[in-house]
Amino acid sequence: MSAVIKEAVINFRPMDEQDLTAVLAIENMAYDFPWSRVIFRDCLRVGYCCWVMERDGVVEGYSVMSVAVGESHVLNLCVNPGSHGKGYGGVLLEFMLDIARKHEADTAFLEVRPSNGAAKRLYQQSGFDEVGLRRDYYPARSGREDAIIMARSL
């Protein structure tokens, strides 16, 4: 599966264990509280939808999503910080929503930090609405941070 962003050919393929070094390098740059190798391994093991997005054979982003009984949950969606703002996040999100539809999900859910303006805008542009709040859900530099729950129909 592929897409084109400004002449770059973007490919998507299922993530495997061998991708985890590249995935973790991006994860550690992109998040203050990154997932560990163990978490990614568990996601692969339980059969979540784990995909990498490559540009010219180099991993530029990845996403992890669970799908069950008609609901998909985007658990992680991340683009290499050196490539932010070029449209990759939007392409990756739409790709994952297509995967969810193929698994017959009719609703997509995700959580986002109120402080994560870029992600919130990305999700809003894709049609996600705020549907709830989980108090003190995330670790934060000082204490905890809420999670906004967002959802859209597919």
Ligand X SMILES: CC(C)(COP(=O)(O)OP(=O)(O)OC[C@H]1O[C@@H](n2cnc3c(N)ncnc32)[C@H](O)[C@@H]1OP(=O)(O)O)[C@@H](O)C(=O)NCCC(=O)NCCS
Q: Is 96 in the site for ligand X (CB under 6 A)?
A: no
CA distance 147 to 114: 7
Exactly one of 104, 111, 137, 138 is catalytic; which is it? 111
**Contact flags string 7-46 toward ligand X, x per CB under 6 A:** -----------------------xx---------------
Q: Which of residues 61-90 bind ligand X (CB under 6 A)?
A: 77-79, 84-90
Q: What's the CA dihedral at 62, 26, 84, 135 to 10 degrees?
A: 80
- Shortest distance, position 116 Cβ to ligand X, whole Å: 5
Question: Exactly one of 68, 118, 131, 133 binds ligand X (CB under 6 A); which one?
Answer: 118
Question: Exactly one of 75, 122, 148, 151 binds ligand X (CB under 6 A); which one?
Answer: 122
DSSP 8-state class, residue 142? S
Q: Is 116 in the site for ligand X (CB under 6 A)?
A: yes
User: CB burial class (10 A; 0-12, 13-18, 19+) of residue 1?
Assistant: exposed
Contact by Cβ (8 Å): 123, 111 = no
User: CB burial class (10 A; 0-12, 13-18, 19+) of residue 10?
Assistant: buried
Contact positions toward ligand X, by CB under 6 A? 30-31, 77-79, 84-90, 112, 116-119, 121-122, 125
